[in-house]
Structure 1
């Protein structure tokens, strides 16, 4: 952001030269072995273990009392030596005999009273000031210092030719410490200073000015005086002291540091200086004492261009404000700076003013300043930062009659754009406007100078840039950093925008259209924002990659993800998201195509390989194995004699005898067949009950013929009843042929329920699938089961037992075949079951084979 600052003139220019000269000496290397800082270490002597390659050595602010050749002779490359603020009482320049490259020596603020001379030729900076010398410490050898730029000296008295040894040198800066200068009554000394660009005289800080010295300087460009304490009595002595110095036509810059004076003496000083050749007057730390009374001041023709007063302390509390402000407002100069003062106002000049630059930083000005002022017609720059301004509309109205105003700085105030008064008026010439560090909101964009080129709004309370704002077609630079903006502004209203600063805002997903609407952007700073690294940010990062890296300020270090937490701190340049995850249409099409392909593949597998059948059979095999492992072995084998009991219709006997039985017996599975196992003479029901109880599982071969057999249904009913009471999984259903639901009699609701809820094994017609079918059958049995031997006596049940239940002896239907299944029930449970089956038989018609 372009900023207009008051330029540094005169003395500051020469000080900068000295600083650059010193800097060129200091900045040899950043390596620790070349620069040694041992200041503030309470050292009493120079350390002996310094690296021999040391070039910069800082020993200031210690307790070193003397300096010997052996202390530094081994530092042959030494260029800078700082020994200020120690306790050195004498200095022999012979100690630097082996330091031929030494250019910077500072022994100021010590206890030096004398020096011993030795030929030295390399010094550029030599500071012997602020030491208790009785006379100027001058050696004729100093005349050989042809490269000397800075020389600092102290003395308590002068002789006219004290500086003769260096008269031929052309110094940039001569510092004379006169804090201990002794004044003899009625005696005026003289000192001839031939060639120096800057002369800095330092007086005693707590004593009234009383120096009586006639100083003559040939080529003096800048004069600095420090610690000036005046009252009405010695004011004339001070102007008399300045008389000889200010006669030099080359003196353009005059600086006073720490000046304490009365108001009348200050006016007399201004009046004395007004006709002189001085162009730039600077006063720092001015204290006004006693009283402020109206005085007569003649604004004659002057060479003075700029007056700068910084930090005024006013010890006068009752005075006329007009008296104070009139002196400054009527000055016929171009530049006026009065900053860091208790001034609450400034008057409007009574006649058209010559002011082109006014700087009133850090005062207490209010909105009433320069209202209805029409005499500042030449003013180009106005700085009112750090004051008490509150109303933005009054500030705009203040500038209405400033016909030449180009730069306005009202930053660091309390300006509020919501204090609407119906008037929005600005000087049309304003090109640079600084409104930063106020309390401005979005409405500020509705009242701005129409031709502004540089606009600074950083550190305000702006949340968005409204769409219905006035068009700023000439705006080139916009700074809205440190606000609460959530997106980059478009260039619809800023058609000439080339520089945008929007860092430290709340921009989370900036629009990628910014670079399309702002074609003239040459620099954008949008770092340090809480970027949300989601799909919305992908296009913006892509656009940044397409523009030059010089355009995006702070890239990539200041651009990091803030959300989501998994990406927090990740640089945006390392943030990547696939096009598929960010393009909804593409994602939908991809998922759709994938699902279609998958569906087609599944359909093909189902049709060609009968995949559902394989999956169903595999699932059944897995579940059967799991259930078989979960039943404790000892629980299963308490009274079991058979692995399986088979029930089927006589019409399906061929399949049972030719397929099922051979496979089971080949696998050592002991099965119960009614032809060989049922006890003759016993009733069918009693045989069924006994042998189902003595079998591990019951196998039912289901077919249309099976559902037509009532005996098969009874066998299924009892096996299911046994499953219910014992909690075991003892039913194996084999679907030999498909059974239409409509052929199952409605009274056989148990059969319908079992076929609807339980998983059955379907006999495959294809031979290739039968291996998996038999594997499922095999998995249903626990071959570790120990069966008890058959005992015919245990199978005998007296007919009287059935007669007691009211049952008639029943014959076994020859079309039904039985096979024992595993049941872990007790005799008690068996009796209950027999009672229920008997009851069922009694309630129906008598069955015969």
Structure 2
């Protein structure tokens, strides 16, 4: 037994250190956790000088004398946590120069003295604080220059005095939420420069904040320029501001949980483009849209468990090109077509591992509660007719817009094409039958000008000159469609006489008659159109009547007002125009 190097006597209800341990001179590891030891005397470890690990966690030790540990010069690990130690004299001022780990947490120690741990030259990992500790005096950690990991647990008003922790890399602080995190008077940037080596900071607030924000002093954080991991649990009452992480350009891991992040500002992440891990669990998040503007191109790990997310737009993940791990457990997913794209993304993407996606359950609608999200039939979203209705309504809208456009800008061109087609068909039929022209001329006029036609034109052209004229009030066939009558009249006459006045230009049927006549002119390439103006109409007034203006510019026309003094010459010109037409080039 004298050669024994490791001994574990935990959970044995021991009330003191067994006497036989004194004879184990080669002992290096001793575990006496979870017993009832209430006293340590100077002889307990006097002969175990090679002891390197001593764990006395969760006993009832009340006090410790200096002599208890003075012979353990090789000790590296000492755990005295969860005892009832109220004072311990100056046990840390003795030769524990090799001690690397020290746990004094959860002991009723009122405060830590100045330069309490300065003799622990090799100390790297320390856990301190209890329900009862009020403060650490100035320079408490002075001389502990090798400390790399510090865990502090305080559940009363606490003033942090971390001077001397020049090389600390990990700092964990447990605090009670109903108290304040105070900064000692006079603290400034120079006081916080001892955190320049800090890489990991964890602040955990215990208890119920009851709506009051717990604030980490900004001045305390400004010197942490090399911080790579920041964890805040139950600390913030609302989403941190956009400048919160301005001083952490190298931050790679961020955890903010048990916080109301309903109003999370995506610009908060712009200062930390190197972020690789993000945990926003239990934070009342309802949407992932903030990721669209967060610029998290390096993010690999994303945890959003226990939030209130219903619907996820799968396009969000296009803005996370490096994402390989995603945990969305315990959210309130909606098993409806609004999530069809997200479900398809889970099934088809090969880059990102969606943790336990096969166990995600539906929260909405009520009749699907308890069913699995991935069991939702996304095909039904395409087969329920909604896609067909969407396509149909889209086509209808496009058709309506196209029809409106054509009517507004191209109606005359379409009408021209239609009537040209009718004229072509009619002329082809007439030529096949070899029908001669029934009339010499078809007279196109407006009803307001009918008096002039019967009083001035007919007596001369029919009575004196003997021409056969076609007049719509007299010669159109009753019961026949008016367009057919017009077509028959124009193609059944050798020529068409248009009696033009302002009323004529404003008439829809007169407009169609002159259109049909101009179509024939275009089709047969013959001089079949005679223009008679009853009024002097300036060319600028013809601008709205594109076709009429074009004809007036290209063809010679007769003006009744200009022939008022010599009507005989006027009718002679009409007679010459009515002679059998010659081929013409337009």
Q: Distance in 1 between matches of 2:87 and 2:109?
A: 7
Change (3 A) 1:86 1:41: same
- Pairing 1:272–2:244 present: yes
- Pairing 1:164–2:134 present: no
Give the gaps of 5 or more residues in structure 1. Answer: 1-30, 184-188, 315-319, 392-412, 424-849
Change (3 A) 1:98 1:90: same
1:383-782 mapped onto 2 (5 Å cutoff): 383-388=353-358
- Pairing 1:146–2:121 present: yes
Change (3 A) 1:347 1:78: same
Contact 2:97 2:120 (C-alpha < 8 Å) held by counterparts = yes
- Pairing 1:174–2:150 present: yes
1:221-232 mapped onto 2 (5 Å cutoff): 221-227=199-205
How many angstroms does 1:287 deviate by?
A: 2.5
Question: Aligned to 1:273, what secondary structure does the other structure show?
Answer: coil
Contact 1:349 1:375 (C-alpha < 8 Å) held by counterparts = no
Question: Which string of whole-angstrom CA distances, capped at 9 and with x for unpartnered residues, describes residues 37-68 of structure 1?
Answer: 22222221111223603321111122211211
Q: Distance in 2 between matches of 1:389 and 1:127?
A: 40
Change (3 A) 1:77 1:308: same
Q: Distance in 1 between matches of 2:377 and 2:314?
A: 27
How many angstroms does 1:82 deviate by?
A: 0.5
Change (3 A) 1:338 1:39: same
Which position in structure 1 is the counterpart of 2:168? 197
- Pairing 1:298–2:228 present: no
Partner residue of 1:326 out of 285, 289, 292: 289
- Pairing 1:382–2:352 present: yes
How many angstroms does 1:78 deviate by?
A: 1.6
Q: Distance in 2 between matches of 1:99 and 1:312?
A: 46
Which position in structure 2 is the counterpart of 1:83? 56
Contact 1:390 1:416 (C-alpha < 8 Å) held by counterparts = no
Contact 1:33 1:54 (C-alpha < 8 Å) held by counterparts = yes
How many angstroms does 1:227 deviate by?
A: 1.8
Which position in structure 2 is the counterpart of 1:346? 312
Change (3 A) 1:157 1:417: closer
Contact 2:100 2:125 (C-alpha < 8 Å) held by counterparts = yes
Q: Distance in 2 between matches of 1:79 and 1:276?
A: 38
Contact 2:51 2:75 (C-alpha < 8 Å) held by counterparts = yes
Q: Distance in 1 between matches of 2:306 and 2:225?
A: 32
Change (3 A) 1:416 1:296: closer
How many angstroms does 1:179 deviate by?
A: 2.2
Partner residue of 2:326 out of 333, 357, 360: 360
Question: Which string of whole-angstrom CA distances, capped at 9 and with x for unpartnered residues, describes residues 15-37 of structure 1?
Answer: xxxxxxxxxxxxxxxx9943222
Partner residue of 2:219 out of 243, 248, 262: 243
Q: Distance in 1 between matches of 2:103 and 2:220?
A: 26
CA RMSD of aligned residues (A): 4.2
Q: Distance in 1 between matches of 2:250 and 2:41?
A: 46
How many angstroms does 1:294 deviate by?
A: 4.4
Contact 2:78 2:99 (C-alpha < 8 Å) held by counterparts = yes
TM-score normalized with structure 2 length: 0.50
Which position in structure 2 is the counterpart of 1:309? 279
Change (3 A) 1:340 1:42: farther
Q: Distance in 1 between matches of 2:181 and 2:379?
A: 58
- Give the number of equivalent residue pairs: 346
Question: Which string of whole-angstrom CA distances, capped at 9 and with x for unpartnered residues, describes residues 626-673 of structure 1?
Answer: xxxxxxxxxxxxxxxxxxxxxxxxxxxxxxxxxxxxxxxxxxxxxxxx
Which position in structure 1 is the counterpart of 2:549? none
Contact 2:244 2:268 (C-alpha < 8 Å) held by counterparts = no
How many angstroms does 1:419 deviate by?
A: 9.9
Question: Aligned to 1:164, what secondary structure does the other structure show?
Answer: coil
Contact 1:344 1:363 (C-alpha < 8 Å) held by counterparts = no
- Pairing 1:54–2:27 present: yes
Contact 2:29 2:53 (C-alpha < 8 Å) held by counterparts = yes
Contact 1:330 1:350 (C-alpha < 8 Å) held by counterparts = no
Which position in structure 1 is the counterpart of 2:255? 283
Question: Aligned to 1:371, what secondary structure does the other structure show?
Answer: helix
- Pairing 1:43–2:33 present: no
How many angstroms does 1:246 deviate by?
A: 3.8
Contact 1:126 1:151 (C-alpha < 8 Å) held by counterparts = yes
How many angstroms does 1:354 deviate by?
A: 4.3
Change (3 A) 1:227 1:296: closer
Q: Distance in 1 between matches of 2:77 and 2:317?
A: 53
How many angstroms does 1:91 deviate by?
A: 2.0
Which position in structure 2 is the counterpart of 1:689? none
Change (3 A) 1:360 1:352: closer
Q: Distance in 1 between matches of 2:304 and 2:269?
A: 25
Question: Aligned to 2:165, what secondary structure does the other structure show?
Answer: strand
Contact 2:281 2:304 (C-alpha < 8 Å) held by counterparts = yes
Contact 1:356 1:380 (C-alpha < 8 Å) held by counterparts = no
How many angstroms does 1:191 deviate by?
A: 4.3
Q: Distance in 1 between matches of 2:137 and 2:277?
A: 35
Q: Distance in 2 between matches of 1:103 and 1:420?
A: 64
Which position in structure 1 is the counterpart of 2:104? 128
Give the gaps of 5 or more residues in structure 2. Answer: 362-371, 383-586
How many angstroms does 1:162 deviate by?
A: 2.4
- Pairing 1:220–2:208 present: no
Which position in structure 2 is the counterpart of 1:101? 74
How many angstroms does 1:80 deviate by?
A: 0.8
Contact 2:110 2:134 (C-alpha < 8 Å) held by counterparts = yes
Change (3 A) 1:388 1:80: same
Which position in structure 2 is the counterpart of 1:371? 341
Contact 2:241 2:265 (C-alpha < 8 Å) held by counterparts = no
- Point out the structure with max Rg over C-alpha: 1
Contact 1:253 1:279 (C-alpha < 8 Å) held by counterparts = yes
Q: Distance in 1 between matches of 2:376 and 2:314?
A: 25
Q: Distance in 1 between matches of 2:293 and 2:324?
A: 13
